[in-house]
């Protein structure tokens, strides 16, 4: 059976490429490639700022750390403790995606709390959305803040934290039913918020120390859906790879970039491969594959953090890594993969020349595009499979 990495491009991709081809009718190849370069450069400069607030002791800082894929004791972690440690808005850039910043905001449980003054103090316009955290029922300060944010047309979400503590406490009781406990907590939270005047409150039950459990998938999906399109992938790729749904969405987001990167690399065409009618910008490809590696949290530091959080030895995770890309992602490795991909792509190169005539205007013709696309797909699939095995191991399920 043929490797799925070398399949002919799908209809949606053909339409997207044809749109690019239409641009070439009024622009030359250099301008078209520059358009793609500007597109990716613009994505790299987009800023995403998330304001995280709540009462003292609610677990704000632990949640900031969890969203950044860190525990509470790492060097880059936000300080945590039983008393309020945040006196002013404190930025915590994501360790891998510095354009994504979690802001640990001062607590809101003080007797003289005034939401309008608070929002002005923390510069509320800076944030794309707010997360309001409580470790018990949401009190008046949370309700007042939510109403003020709502009046200013900003998005916000409620997180009921430390759910793992509640579940452990309830487990000691007779006739314990986990789903019933979670349902009761959720209903109680929503009831108090509605009584305070918050319309249709979105409440998510979260454990910062067991982030992949409970409502984290639902929170991720809601945040992603309500963000502008150009910020959705940024949020998704920055989130820790802790659930199968997030893993699959990351793969889909990266997959959507493949044909564009293939066009860009083949269009720039910096490095010819001896003996083959193909050239590509290997530097672009190395950078892109490293992004796959980074997004799936396969680096040593991420595996160590995951080991600490799950109590699974890091050696078990490393046994799941089958792709040679985990050992080295370099220009030499990419050149070898391109050579192999080019051989497989010979069979379909003619197909592209018939359905996408402009590909023939690339410096190395259809073969550059098809082989580069095939190689990127193969790399993405290999690293995604490794990450899935690691996640299954972390979740203590069977590993394929």
Residues 240 and 211: their CA atoms lie apart, in Å, by 9
Does 184 reside within a domain? yes
Q: For residues 55 and 137, state if they share a domain.
A: yes
Nearest to 279 by CA among 292, 266, 290, 291: 266
Is 263 in the same domain as 216?
no
26 and 67 inside one domain: no
Per-residue model confidence (pLDDT) at position 344: 53
Does residue 209 sit in the same domain as residue 71?
Answer: yes
Bridge partners of 2? none
For residues 84 and 58, what is the distance between their CA atoms, to the nearest angstrom? 9
Judge if 99 and 181 occupy the same domain: yes
Note whether 36 and 173 are same-domain residues: no
Q: Which residues contact 156 (CB under 8 A, 6 or more apart)?
A: 129, 130, 131, 132, 146, 149, 150
Q: Are residues 231 and 121 in the same domain?
A: yes
| Residue 293 is assigned to a structural domain of this protein | yes
The pLDDT value recorded for residue 112 is 74
H-helix or E-strand containing 66? helix 60-67
| Selection from 207, 269, 244 nearest residue 32 by Cα | 269
Q: Are residues 195 and 281 in the same domain?
A: no
Instruction: Please name the residue that has the structure tokens 């994505």.
Output: 43
**Do both 73 and 213 map to the same domain?**
yes
Number of domain units in the chain? 2
Query: Do 221 and 272 reside in the same domain of the chain?
Result: no
In a domain, 180, yes or no: yes
What string of pLDDT tens digits covers the 400 residues of the chain? 444 443 444 444 455 455 555 554 545 556 666 766 777 777 778 899 999 999 888 889 999 999 998 887 777 888 886 666 667 899 999 999 999 999 999 888 777 788 888 899 999 999 999 999 999 889 889 999 999 998 888 899 999 999 999 999 988 888 889 999 999 999 999 999 999 889 889 999 999 988 888 999 999 999 988 898 878 888 999 999 989 999 999 999 999 888 888 877 776 654 454 544 456 678 888 999 999 999 999 999 899 888 888 889 999 999 999 999 999 999 888 888 877 776 555 444 444 444 444 444 444 445 677 778 888 999 999 999 999 999 999 887 534 4
Dist CA 256 CA 234 (whole Å): 13
**Can you give the residue range of the structural domain that contains 279?**
4-44+247-394
Do residue 286 and residue 184 come from a single domain?
A: no
């Amino acid at each position: 059976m043929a490797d799925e990495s070398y399949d002919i491009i799908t209809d949606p991709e053909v339409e997207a490429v044809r749109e690019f081809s239409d641009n070439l009718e009024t622009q030359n190849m250099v301008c078209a490639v520059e358009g793609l370069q500007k597109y990716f450069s613009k994505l790299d400069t987009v800023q995403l700022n998330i304001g995280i607030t709540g009462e003292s002791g609610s677990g704000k800082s632990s949640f900031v750390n969890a969203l950044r894929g860190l525990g509470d004791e790492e060097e880059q972690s936000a300080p945590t403790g039983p008393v309020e440690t945040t006196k002013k808005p404190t930025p915590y850039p994501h360790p891998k995606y510095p354009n994504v910043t979690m802001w640990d905001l001062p607590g809101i449980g003080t007797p003289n709390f005034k939401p309008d003054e608070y929002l002005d103090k923390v510069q509320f316009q800076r944030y794309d959305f707010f997360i309001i955290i409580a470790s018990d029922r949401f009190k008046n300060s949370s309700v007042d803040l939510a109403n003020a944010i709502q009046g200013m047309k900003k998005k916000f979400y409620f997180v009921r934290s430390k759910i793992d503590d509640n579940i452990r406490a309830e487990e000691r009781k007779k006739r314990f039913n986990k789903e019933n406990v979670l349902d009761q907590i959720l209903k109680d939270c929503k009831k108090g918020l509605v009584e305070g005047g918050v319309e249709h409150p979105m409440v998510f039950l979260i454990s910062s120390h067991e982030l992949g459990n409970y409502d984290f998938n639902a929170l991720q999906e809601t945040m992603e859906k309500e963000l502008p399109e150009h910020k959705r992938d940024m949020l998704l790729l920055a989130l820790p790879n802790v659930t199968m749904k997030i893993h699959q969405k990351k793969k889909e987001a990266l997959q959507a970039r493949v044909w564009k990167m293939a066009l860009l690399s083949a269009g720039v065409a910096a490095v010819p491969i001896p003996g083959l009618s193909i050239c590509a910008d290997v530097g672009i490809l190395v950078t892109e594959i490293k992004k796959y590696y980074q997004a799936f949290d396969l680096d040593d530091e991420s595996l160590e953090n995951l080991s600490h959080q799950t109590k699974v030895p890091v050696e078990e995770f490393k046994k799941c890594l089958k792709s040679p890309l985990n050992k080295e992602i370099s220009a030499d490795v990419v050149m070898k993969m391109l050579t192999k991909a080019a051989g497989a792509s010979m069979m379909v190169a003619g197909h592209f020349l018939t359905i996408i005539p402009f590909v023939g205007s690339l410096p190395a013709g259809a073969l550059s595009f098809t082989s580069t696309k095939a190689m990127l797909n193969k790399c993405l699939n290999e690293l995604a499979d490794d990450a899935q095995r690691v996640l299954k191991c972390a979740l203590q399920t069977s590993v394929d």
